[in-house]
Amino acid sequence: MYLLGFDIGSSSIKAALVDTRTGAAVGVAHHPDTEMAMTAAQPGWAEQDPQLWWDCACAATKKLLQKTGVQADGIQGIGISYQMHGLVVVGKNQAPLRPSIIWCDSRAVGTGNRAFDELGHERCLSHLLNSPGNFTASKLKWVQANEPSLYEKVDKFMLPGDYIAMRLTGEAMTTPSGLSEGTLWDFKENALADLLLDHYGIDRSLVPHVAPTFSLQGELTAAAAEATGLRKGIPVAYRAGDQPNNALSLNVLRPGEVAATGGTSGVIYGVVDKPTYDPQSRVNGFLHVNDQSSAVRQLAATDSHPEGSGQGLPTRIGILLCISGAGSQYSWVRQHVAQSGLTYGEMERAAAAVPVGADGLRIVPFGNGAERMLGNRDTGAQIGNLNFNRHTSAHLYRAALEGIAFSFVHGAGILKDMGMDVSAMRAGNDNLFQSAIFGQTISNLLNCTIEVVETTGAVGAAKAAGVATGAYSTVEEAMQHTSVLRRYAPTNTNGIYTTAFNAWENALSKIIR
């Protein structure tokens, strides 16, 4: 038997099949072959058409079945990982009413900041673990305030993965973990965040039915089966945001464990066993996928708001540091600086010939919207100390990789101040951690050992679906088979990395002061 996982990204849609007997991936496919388009009608905006995600999910599934030869009747369950913090609004016919306002869209920053001030910083942080900031709830409030006639037609709002699950099953659902990533979960009350819904004037009827993260969340409809090439009746049994799911995929489930991602955005994600927040709200706290304190069984059964009903059960909170300008910056360099057709591997080899610190060239990579760890500032990316007589394209490649790595290290300082240990982390093999320049820079500056693991978000989501469908008895059993491909360990660098990092941080301080 097999399990199918989707990873609904903003660049492409990935699909993976996992053999339940071995826990091994038998195939991975993605669609489209080039990055999906985003639209930006105004500076700081970023939208995508949810129908595009669905079309690409269908195409990726058909590619995967053809590639592997697996028959649809051998698939036991479906899991979904998805880009976080996006907003999809649908009418009573379940059709989107507007393009999705996705994770890197900054339009709701002011809305969230005002709510933060009006509700009180300590109250928001202690209840939500976050400022309302630029999250899903604030994006919905923006629609309410700026598109009132459209808002009146909204039947349900949801996250991107909820939309794909709805297209598969015909049922609108979400999870406590998903609600928490939209600042819609109250960690003190262990319930839907009434304080923010009331403040924004959002009716609770717009919230989809709440289901456990690992649960039977509907079955594939006949229409979805025809569109995907799958069979009617396959259960959707798991959904989670991409960063909690990435941690799950890397077997980061226990307090003290840390995951990292260097994709379009950069992330460090650590698991703790109690609600924790940064007083300056530069990092975010969400319910981790294996949290048991959120009373999910009661919520799924009644949609009620049980007070304290999760007490005594293990608490698992994911503390997330997100850097919007990460892989997006390096992709831009490849598209607009590198010679046409140059691969990332070729760029890495060219950059490796340049010394640490890129001969003084510095790139601050924050050009993909507001940066949470910089107090929601939208600084734009900046290139500094460029010398026309000395620096080449290879210097730009190295400075770009180092700039992203320095951003990780800068953000890790916030996590250290919160008491988190970042001396070891795990990362996936399908992102920037394939770059030795990138991985070694972080390892040296944090004195950290980094394990690069052979997995993807789609594979993790597939395995997770096996928990609710009975293929695995526990989440830990589902995630036990991981293969370490490489390790980065600190080396004796005689201070050259520290010197380069200090110069970069000095440049950053002049930008944000």
Helix 344-352 and helix 436-446, axial crossing angle in degrees, nearest 10:
50
User: CB–CB of 297/332 below 8 Å?
Assistant: no
Is a pLDDT exceeding 60 seen at residue 303? Answer: no
Can you spell out the DSSP letters for 325-379? SSHHHHHHHHHHTSPTT--HHHHHHHHHTSPTTGGG-EEE---SS-BGGGTSB--
Q: How far is CA 463 from CA 54, 329, 339, 390, 476, in A?
A: 21, 31, 40, 50, 10
Chain segment 132-178, per-residue pLDDT in tens? 988 999 999 999 999 999 999 999 999 999 999 999 999 999 999 99
* Bridge-based pairing state of the strands 382-384 and 209-210: unpaired
CATH superfamily placement of domain 2-250? ATPase, nucleotide binding domain (3.30.420.40)
2-250 shares its CATH topology with 325-454+483-512? yes
Can you spell out the DSSP letters for 460-489? HHHHHHHHHTTS-SSHHHHT----EEEEE-
Chain segment 234-287, per-residue pLDDT in tens? 999 999 999 999 999 999 999 999 999 998 889 999 999 999 999 998 999 999
Is a pLDDT exceeding 90 seen at residue 309? Answer: no
Q: How far is CA 242 from CA 31, 41, 109, 161, 265, in A?
A: 17, 26, 22, 9, 11
Structure tokens given for 503: 């110069």
- Three-class SS of residue 234? coil
Chain segment 1-51, per-residue pLDDT in tens? 999 999 999 989 999 999 999 999 999 999 999 889 899 999 889 999 999
Work out whether the CA dihedral 261, 373, 135, 329 comes out positive or negative: negative
- Report the run of H or E that residue 457 belongs to, with start and end: helix 457-468
User: CB–CB of 57/13 below 8 Å?
Assistant: yes
CA distance 165 to 248: 19
pLDDT at 227: 98
Helix 393-417 and helix 496-512, axial crossing angle in degrees, nearest 10:
80
Arithmetic mean of pLDDT over the chain: 93
C-alpha closest to that of 248 among 265, 263, 261: 261
pLDDT at 324: 86
| 340 contact partners, CB below 8 Å, separation of at least 6 | none
CA distance 238 to 469: 10
Q: What ranges do the domains of the chain cover?
A: 2-250, 325-454+483-512
Match domain 325-454+483-512 to its CATH number in 3.40.50.2000, 3.30.420.40, 3.40.250.10, 3.40.50.2300.
3.30.420.40
Distance of CA 199 to the CA centre of its chain: 27
